[in-house]
Chains A and B, each alone.
Chain A
Amino acid sequence: GNSVTQMEGPVTLSEEAFLTINCTYTATGYPSLFWYVQYPGEGLQLLLKATKADDKGSNKGFEATYRKETTSFHLEKGSVQVSDSAVYFCALSRSSGGSYIPTFGRGTSLIVHP
């Protein structure tokens, strides 16, 4: 079936450190891939997405590249801030009767210290 696997958290970093959160996927066909973020006390919101192989999604300094060869979509940021502390969810879209339904990973908590 279709699924995503994320690295377990929490990931704890100092401000300005480099961030990588690993995500690999299993899917039939070529799904779209997403990263969603959930800040404390808020709902999930889209961070970035990529709809085909070799696409790079980017937003707010975060980037992820859709790698078909390694079935991966790792999230990276060059210099994290305290305000990036949140839970990050990798997701893929699965086909269902002509529509597409997101399937989420377990989430990775990021804690950034000043």
Chain B
Amino acid sequence: GAGVSQSPRYKVAKRGQDVALRCDPISGHVSLFWYQQALGQGPEFLTYFQNEAQLDKSGLPSDRFFAERPEGSVSTLKIQRTQQEDSAVYLCASSADRGKGNTIYFGEGSWLTVV
């Protein structure tokens, strides 16, 4: 597609509910990133894929967070047993390569509110 597409754009979840957030990266992009952005803060790294391989998941805040990219294109971020502190915008980004100066392209984000 023309850009990184994320769905749903807005999600309200009851505490304890599981949620799944989808990311469609730019076609052909090998690198895919997930970030979490709290209100008034910068994006915080969650996890990184190169094709289907999850190479870095050091930013996942707990074992309730899980991400996958089984065929090296679409990715899903799953949050189990959501808590209020999970309320944030979840940003997906992709990049054509993994070089030092690589430009990453962001989607508009999935806004999650846990009530």
Contact = CB atoms under 8 A, between A and B. Distances in A.
Range for the number of chain A residues in contact with chain B: 20 to 34
Given A43-B91, A45-B106, A101 B100 contact: no
Interface stretch (B43-51, B69-77, B80-88): B43-51
A99 B43 contact: no
Contacts of B100: 31-32, 51, 93, 95, 100
B56 A44 contact: no
**Which one of A98, A100, A106 has the greatest number of beta carbons of chain B within 10 Å?**
A100
Nearest to A103: B45
B60 to A, nearest CB: 14
Range for the number of chain B residues in contact with chain A: 20 to 34
B97 to A, nearest CB: 9
B69 to A, nearest CB: 14
Given A96-B56, A107-B42, A101 B48 contact: yes
**Chain A facing B: main interface SS:** strand
B98 A105 contact: no
Nearest to B53: A97
A98 B98 contact: yes
B104 interface: yes
A77 interface: no
Contacts of B108: 42-43
Given A49-B101, A89-B42, A97 B106 contact: no
B25 interface: no
A44 B40 CA distance: 14
Interface in A63-113: 89, 93, 95-107
A62 B91 CA distance: 25
Interface string B1-24: 000100000000000000000000
Given A43-B91, A44-B43, A107-B42, A102 B104 contact: yes
Contact of B41 (A51, A99, A100, A106): A106
10 contacts: A44-B91, A44-B106, A46-B103, A89-B43, A93-B100, A95-B100, A99-B31, A99-B56, A100-B99, A101-B48
Interface of A: 31-32, 36, 42-46, 49, 51, 89, 93, 95-107
